[in-house]
Amino acid sequence: MAEYLLANGADTEDVLPETASRNTRENLAYSRAVQTEAGRDGQVVVVTNDYHVLRAATLARRLDLPAQVVGARTAAYYVPSAFLREFVAVVVAHRWLNVLACAPFVLFTAFLLWESFQQR
């Protein structure tokens, strides 16, 4: 993105790339540190792919960042796999909530199956 910004007329002193992160959470945290070190504290706009907005906004909120997250259009051929990947990432990020939400249904189904086998 730094190369894109510079190629499209951004001033060099305004482009401060973050290059150490390995995931979205680290990218948000490290970018905030770069911003703060440059003396630019305040609201930020996080731009990401449209399929990634929910998770990026959730992570920004957890990091207590004053951020607005905006999605950029994704190529149509990539959308199905991207949304599936994001769905799995959100489920994994909230695994215990999902376990608690699904447990009653699993237990009820197991009970019904047990009763069905008992009647045979």
Examine the pLDDT at 120 and tell me if it is beyond 90: no
Domain count, the chain: 2
pTM over 0.75: no
102 and 51, same structural domain? no
Question: pLDDT for 47-94, tens place per residue?
Answer: 999 999 999 999 999 999 999 999 999 899 998 999 898 889 888 888
The domain containing residue 97 runs over which residues? 77-120
% pLDDT > 90, the chain: 74
SS (H, E, C) 50-116: HHHHHHHHHHHHHCCCCEEEEEECCCHHHHHHHHHHHHHHHHHHCHHHHHHHHHHHHHHHHHHHHHH
Q: Name the residue type at position 78.
A: Y
What does the pLDDT average to over 21-44?
Answer: 93
CA 115, distance to chain mean position in Å, is 42
Whether residues 55 and 24 fall in one domain:
yes
Please give the pLDDT value at position 36: 92
Q: Which residue has the tokens 């906004």?
A: 57
| Residue 101 sits in the same domain as residue 61 | no
Say if CB 55 and CB 61 are below 8 A apart: no
Q: Are residues 106 and 68 in the same domain?
A: no
Same domain for 108 and 63: no
d(CA 29, CA 20): 11
Residue 18 contacts residue 30 (beta carbons within 8 Å): yes
